[in-house]
Amino acid sequence: MGIATRHLIYFSPAPSVDLQRCFDARGWQIEVVHSARELRRAAGRGGIAGGLLDVSGGVGVADLHDVETCLTTPNVGWIAATQRGQMQDAALRRLVRDYCFDYVTMPCSGERIVESVGHAYGMITLTEPPPHAGTLGEGEMVGACEAMLALFRTIRKVASTDAPVFIAGESGTGKELTAVAIHERSARAAAPFVAINCGAIPPHLLQSELFGYERGAFTGATQRKIGRVEAAHGGTLFLDEIGDLPLESQASLLRFLQEGRIERLGGHASIPVDVRVICATHVDMEAALRAGRFREDLYHRLCVLKLVEPPLRERGRDIEVLARHMLERFRGDGHRRLRGFAPDAIAALHNYGWPGNVRELINRVRRAIVMSEGRMITAADLELSGFVDHAPVSLVAAREAAERRAIEVALLRHRGRLAEAACELGVSRVTLYRLMLAHGMREREPGTAGLAAPAAAERREAC
């Protein structure tokens, strides 16, 4: 079986033809870039790649900054090529430390450079990819767990009808996003989407907010005001926190749902309104019905199609998917170029109970982006230090979890350099490689080359 084709991004103001021949002879597909703009375009295409960053000809401070902004993508394993004495420069030393797996000092043999880049490429392939994020809409709804995939399927089904929709779920789970997604996939997508929080408006003002009023209807009503129901004509009306709707307003809403017409406060005209109603609440509606706080006839009018938003704590690896999504979305809030989440942060994300659901996750990640003092967000940055340790179900599970975490931390600390990580862990490079495979830290695609085989690694250690 032939060696799988590997992609190389070769950044150099004056690329070496001989070095390109060396890579070509080893089966690499080479893409040469000469500027930060070309580098950004090449690195941003996605897909696993090896990277050779040739700064041996000298790079100015401004150019170095432009280059650094292109190295944050996690899909490229970088090796730097420098001249003797260049690493004395603090800015270059920091760039190599933070973004490169290793560096070579020129002049250096082509074979050694190819081997170093191959190692970096192999480490990138061994990195566990983040779970696939199934997205709905313009990336606003993110999820890949079975509960979310089922929700996405239901959204597509209910969007094709005009029947009222009732969305249940805890606070912060994203009920309004679901309502927007239904509206955007419906025949009413070009018409207004009007939302009102029934629990945020004082009861004595809610009636006029919903149905509007005529001039002179009460003191201070100097002109006619269109209510939220009428403003949504032709589109979708979203009644958030419907469980907090006062009984008086419940009667008016029920009359509108039955007749399809409203009367503005202080008016006498009956106005036809065509809207699709979606409502949501975190309230236990069965308890509200039993207690008489909510009309049963109104509930059955509203709850024709029911959707349930899963709480974040039940969404498994979606927690990590969402955290990474929010890091990418709000990365610009921080003053540092963050590379991701440290292993202790990932553990804490999964161990925490998330009473505030997705809303709380967003707040914690945004705060961590601003407050983090390192290149990786830690559990402390998320203010979740107390949730790092999670008691396994058995000693075997505890040993395996500790072993895997130790490997992850060592590889992270040494930028993926196997020899140094193995030395810290007190094992041989071959043993570390074998442990990584045992813990599922394997290549993404079968047959992908990059890391030297254990036997070859053993021979190099003996040299």
pLDDT digits (tens, 9 = 90+) for 60-76: 655 677 777 677 667 78
Q: Which residues contact 115 (CB under 8 A, 6 or more apart)?
A: 452
Q: Enter the CATH code of domain 6-126.
A: 3.40.50.2300
Q: Is 20 exposed, middle or buried (0-12, 13-18, 19+ CB in 10 A)?
A: middle
Taking the C-alpha atoms of residue 11 and residue 15, their distance in angstroms, rounded to an integer, is 8
- Report, as an integer, the average pLDDT of 160-182: 95
Q: Which CATH superfamily is domain 146-309 in?
A: P-loop containing nucleotide triphosphate hydrolases (3.40.50.300)
Q: Is 309 exposed, middle or buried (0-12, 13-18, 19+ CB in 10 A)?
A: buried
Identify which has the larger pLDDT, 359 or 432: 359
Buried-state track 89-107, b at ≥16 Cβ within 10 A, e below 16 = beebeebbebbbbbbbebe
Taking the C-alpha atoms of residue 104 and residue 84, their distance in angstroms, rounded to an integer, is 9
pLDDT of residue 128: 47
pLDDT of residue 349: 94
Q: Which three-class secondary structure state does DSSP give residue 223? A: coil
pLDDT, tens only, 199-253: 889 888 898 999 999 888 888 888 889 999 999 999 999 999 999 999 989 999 9
Angle at 223 between CA 219 and CA 228, to 5 degrees: 100
Is a pLDDT exceeding 60 seen at residue 22? Answer: yes
**Topology adopted by domain 314-462:** Helicase, Ruva Protein; domain 3 (1.10.8)
Of 186-195, 278-287, 446-455, the range with the lowest mean pLDDT is: 446-455
* Sequence ranges of the domains in the chain: 6-126, 146-309, 314-462
Is a pLDDT exceeding 80 seen at residue 444? Answer: no
Is a pLDDT exceeding 70 seen at residue 91? Answer: yes
Angle at 124 between CA 16 and CA 430, to 5 degrees: 100
Of 40-44, 316-320, 326-330, the range with the lowest mean pLDDT is: 40-44
pLDDT, tens only, 383-406: 999 888 654 446 666 677 778 878
Which helix (H) or strand (E) segment is 6 a member of?
Answer: strand 6-11
Taking the C-alpha atoms of residue 339 and residue 361, their distance in angstroms, rounded to an integer, is 18
- Are 79 and 51 in contact by the 8 Å Cβ rule? The answer is yes
Taking the C-alpha atoms of residue 356 and residue 108, their distance in angstroms, rounded to an integer, is 55
pLDDT, tens only, 117-147: 888 888 777 654 544 444 444 346 888 888 9
pLDDT of residue 394: 60
The residue length of the chain stands at 463
6-126 and 146-309 agree in CATH topology: yes
